[in-house]
Homo-oligomer: A and B are copies of this chain.
Amino acid sequence: MPLPGEFHEIAKRVNNWGRWGPEDEIGTLNLVTDQVVREAAACVRSGRRIPLALPLRQDGVQTGVIPGRVNPLHVMVQINQEIFGPGTVACSDDAVTMGLQAATHWDALPHVSHSGKLYNGRPAGTVTAHGGAAFSGIDKPRHIVSRGVLLDIPRALGRERLEGSYAVTPQDLDAAEEFAGTRVRAGDIVLVRTGQIRTYLSGGKEAYGYPSPGLSVRTPEWFHARDVAAVANDTLTFEVFPPEIEDLWLPVHALHLVEMGMPQGQNWNLEELSTACGEEGRYAFLLSATPEPFVGGTGSPVAPVAVL
């Protein structure tokens, strides 16, 4: 069953293949220029730092529904081990096993493919068990630091939070942008708050994942028009789930990652940031969110920090 024509029409409009050359592996992150970073630094006024990652622990957001996406198993491999003999300085060491997409993370561009293709027209078959993604792996961007803008949809709409299955529209983004009092510009990283992560934070693990509010299939064109570098939000599914168009699953993933070459972030905790931005009355900040450079990774845990 091929993807519907409607999908392909949007795809054509947002496609960035070749825009940064046939060899490009980082897509819209090319938009984060030194100038953008200088402007991001200029956003720092109070020096307040807000962490956006969920704690990494076995009782994480995964429920077992997605095969292989395991919550972190953190183990101690040494505990106060006196390596050099009794009475010497003692060491403790740990190890972890976890899904790279299990917690607060970035999707790398090859995290999804459609019609046999990855970003920039590379064959889907270049992702293999031996080495992961040959192209556009999560190690390729080297750094993700830019201006971040919080689009706080529920606050802009005067709500506590969005209900499950609410599709965030371009109009919602416009409203939140106006509420934020700043215009989203080329190279920005947009954080779209839905409030959905409250469900997880208050113990509703299953309900956090489904049904979920998230981005509408109409929003990639908005991000494309603004030349956004990346988008992250506070949901498990990123896009509205179940999807808006019957039998069209994960269209936003496909448009962002494959067509636009734009990384996506999921399970970002934007609650404290929402409060802080509200208090300071400004929604733009320096965002530092460099992924762990797993060679060939199709994603990576990240510990993003907003500096206001």
Chain A residues 56-73 with CB under 8 Å of chain B are 56-59, 64, 66-70, 72-73
A145 within 8 A of B: yes
Taking a contact as CB atoms under 8 Å apart, the answer to whether B78 and A76 are in contact is: no
Copies in the complex: 4
Taking a contact as CB atoms under 8 Å apart, the answer to whether B288 and A76 are in contact is: no
The stretch that binds B, out of A154-162, A173-181, A206-214, A300-308, is A300-308
A218 within 8 A of B: no
Taking a contact as CB atoms under 8 Å apart, the answer to whether B79 and A68 are in contact is: no
Out of B50, B81, B292, which one reaches A303, CB within 8 Å?
A: B292
A87 within 8 A of B: yes
Taking a contact as CB atoms under 8 Å apart, the answer to whether B73 and A76 are in contact is: no
- A48/B76 contact (C-beta < 8 A), A2-B87, A70-B95, A81-B129 known: no
Taking a contact as CB atoms under 8 Å apart, the answer to whether A100 and B91 are in contact is: no
Taking a contact as CB atoms under 8 Å apart, the answer to whether A143 and B66 are in contact is: no
Taking a contact as CB atoms under 8 Å apart, the answer to whether A97 and B112 are in contact is: no
Out of B53, B96, B297, which one reaches A98, CB within 8 Å?
A: B96
Taking a contact as CB atoms under 8 Å apart, the answer to whether B124 and A90 are in contact is: yes
Taking a contact as CB atoms under 8 Å apart, the answer to whether B56 and A292 are in contact is: yes
A235 to chain B, nearest CB (A): 16
Out of B92, B94, B112, B293, which one reaches A113, CB within 8 Å?
A: B92
A36 within 8 A of B: yes
Closest 4 CB pairs of A and B: A68-B77, A34-B47, A37-B47, A41-B44
